[in-house]
Amino acid sequence: MEKQHFFILAILGFIWGGCNNNPVERNTIVFRNNTNHVQDSLIRMNELMRKLPGSNGCNISYEFNEDTIKINGCPGRTQDEIKADSSIAYSKFNRNEKSEFISLAHYLKRNYITAGYSYYNTKLWMYTYRELSDIDFHDSRDIAIIENADVAIVTQQSKILDRKGKIYLLSDKGAKIR
């Protein structure tokens, strides 16, 4: 009976431990593609994001769910629909920029970056990194391109977990990193 009890406790401990630990990649920068290429893509996405219009006091943002891109919380369209669309959210882009925005969003998603948003009232852009389905405050990670002069601004609200070139991996300053 004691062996069965121990076995059950061991299994429960393993399950609980597995649920409460993030993969190592959550706290380090690991992409599928070359880091320099991802950095260049983030820099270009920053330029494109600056062209997006604001939305009723909300942060300018995009989010990639399944095969849908949402801009400023508004439902997006499929890739073909977005290319042909002249909606307000995309009105600042010419045809090539719309196509580039969509391609970059797909590329970044393949590299574990699923969303982007403006950082408070700054000119910085943050990108959601390795989002988990059961994400909470402590599991949230962001990627940002940060120039040396902006590090002090970011570290007021965030802690730096990793850095590669100009790419910084951040979590909220109060998060308990697992």
Pick from 153, 161, 96, 87: nearest CA to 130: 161
Is residue 14 over pLDDT 70?
no
Q: Is 22 exposed, middle or buried (0-12, 13-18, 19+ CB in 10 A)?
A: middle
Tell me which DSSP letter residue 131 carries. Answer: -
pTM over 0.85: no
Domain range summary for the chain, segments of one domain joined by +: 2-172
**DSSP strand E in the chain: where?**
61-65, 68-71, 113-118, 125-129, 142-145, 158-164, 167-172
67-126 pLDDT, tens per residue?
777 777 655 545 555 444 346 677 788 889 989 999 999 999 999 999 998 876 677 889
138-174 pLDDT, tens per residue?
677 889 998 887 888 888 888 899 999 999 999 888 8
Residue 35 confidence (pLDDT):
96
Tell me which DSSP letter residue 55 carries. Answer: B
**More confident call, 178 vs 63:** 63
